[in-house]
Amino acid sequence: MTALLSVRDLAKHYPMRGGRTLRALAGVSFDMQPGEVLGIVGESGSGKTTLGRVILRLMPATSGTIRFRGQDITRLSRRAVRPLRRHMQIVFQDPYASLNPRMTVEQILGIPLGVHEPMLGRTQRRARIEQMLHTVGLFGDAADRYPHEFSGGQRQRIGIARALICRPELLVADEPVSALDVSVQAQVINLLLDLREQLGLAILFIAHDLAVVGLISDRVAVMYLGRIVELATTADLFARPRHPYTEALFAAVPDVGGRRERVLLKGDMPSPIDPPSGCAFRTRCRYAEPACAAERPPLVEHAPGHFAACPRPELVLSSPLPERAAEMTRAAG
């Protein structure tokens, strides 16, 4: 099967004063299949949001390639990218700041229809908008109301409706539930899963919370300092993480039952302007050895479909499904 999205050695650098360079992305590679949900997880500063925006061509890549439906879109002109926008859309983190407060919901959803389907008449446009609002669980006079008249969860549904109104194939969901409380998070995640089934939608789901990612993703990519350090199916990653950073992310999830060993991360994430030599995680890794400073470990397949950038994955502890994910599963049910 041809990948819907194929990313190879993607880098995004920012020149800084004094001739230094901030490497927000430092060689990211992965594929996504049609209809797949791929979770991207990591701390703030790991490059997650930058990755999503570079893939959508909201900012240019420094190097590497992005192929969408087999077409290299990495360096297309702005005019050439515009027809692709309807096939690749984004849902933003903040449901309060991402909607224009001076526009009705009909006007907000009408903008992408006006750009990508200008042939629609007013009646047809209104019907499409009402149909999409129903699809995301908003009924009645929702189209005629303003964003301030809705709750946070409802506003995020409007943001999802706006992204999907032109029936894209790929949705980048950039921390779409982090501003919502747990019960509303579960509702939005369930909505995205339903939409994936109804529309055959592929979702690049970006989050900092492994428990949230585990509820929606088929596979998970763990990012650290601009690189993917582990990539596996969700079931394999939750049952047997193979990178110390993933282990530490699991340990950061609250464990009500106290069944997991607490593994605390040392210090802060290094600066992407001056990353450590060798393995970037070695300055915080409890398994680090002098050899870890010599060479950056590549992303290696240690088990079928399970990749990790660590030469000694056998040291990493088994990490059962976090209690936080179980709580969200109960709330979603």
pLDDT in tens, 258-303: 555 555 677 788 889 998 999 999 999 988 899 899 999 999 999 9
Reduce the DSSP state of residue 227 to 3 states and report it: strand
CA-to-CA distance for 302 and 86, rounded, in angstroms?
A: 38
Which range in 62-66, 188-192, 256-260, 288-292 is most confidently predicted, on average pLDDT? Answer: 62-66
What pLDDT is stored for residue 269 in this prediction? 87
Assess whether pLDDT exceeds 80 at residue 317. Answer: no
Greater pLDDT, 140 or 174: 174
Assess whether pLDDT exceeds 70 at residue 323. Answer: no
pLDDT in tens, 233-265: 999 999 889 999 998 888 776 654 555 555 567
What pLDDT is stored for residue 53 in this prediction? 95
Query: DSSP of 131-195, one letter per residue?
Result: HHHHHTT--TTGGGS-GGGS-HHHHHHHHHHHHHTT--SEEEEESTTTTS-HHHHHHHHHHHHHH
Provide the terminal-to-terminal Cα distance of the chain, rounded to the nearest Å: 33
CA-to-CA distance for 219 and 234, rounded, in angstroms?
A: 5
What pLDDT is stored for residue 47 in this prediction? 94
Helix and strand numbers, DSSP H then E, in the chain: 10, 12
Assess whether pLDDT exceeds 70 at residue 320. Answer: no
Sequence letter at residue 332: A
What DSSP state is assigned to residue 197?
A: H
- Read off the pLDDT band of 137 (50, 70, 90): very high
CA-to-CA distance for 58 and 50, rounded, in angstroms?
A: 9
Nearest Cα to Cα of residue 185 among 197, 198, 173? 173
What pLDDT is stored for residue 332 in this prediction? 46
Greater pLDDT, 329 or 58: 58
Tokens 């579960």 belong to which residue? 186
For residue 97, what are its two tokens?
A: 């700041």
- Read off the pLDDT band of 318 (50, 70, 90): low
pLDDT in tens, 85-96: 999 999 988 878
Assess whether pLDDT exceeds 90 at residue 314. Answer: no
Instruction: Specify the pTM.
Output: 0.90
Measured at the CA of 53, the angle between CA 189 and CA 8, to 5 degrees, comes to: 100
What pLDDT is stored for residue 319 in this prediction? 52
For residue 111, what are its two tokens?
A: 């903008």
pLDDT in tens, 80-129: 999 899 999 999 888 788 899 999 999 999 999 999 999 999 999 999 99
What pLDDT is stored for residue 155 in this prediction? 92
| Out of 153-157, 275-279, 318-322, least confident range | 318-322
Q: From edge to edge, which strands make up the β-sheet containing 63-68?
A: 21-32, 5-15, 63-68, 71-72
Q: What is the mean pLDDT of the chain?
A: 89
Tokens 């129903």 belong to which residue? 134
Reduce the DSSP state of residue 306 to 3 states and report it: strand
What Å distances lie between residue 211 and 65, 90, 220, 240, 322, CA to CA?
31, 22, 11, 15, 7
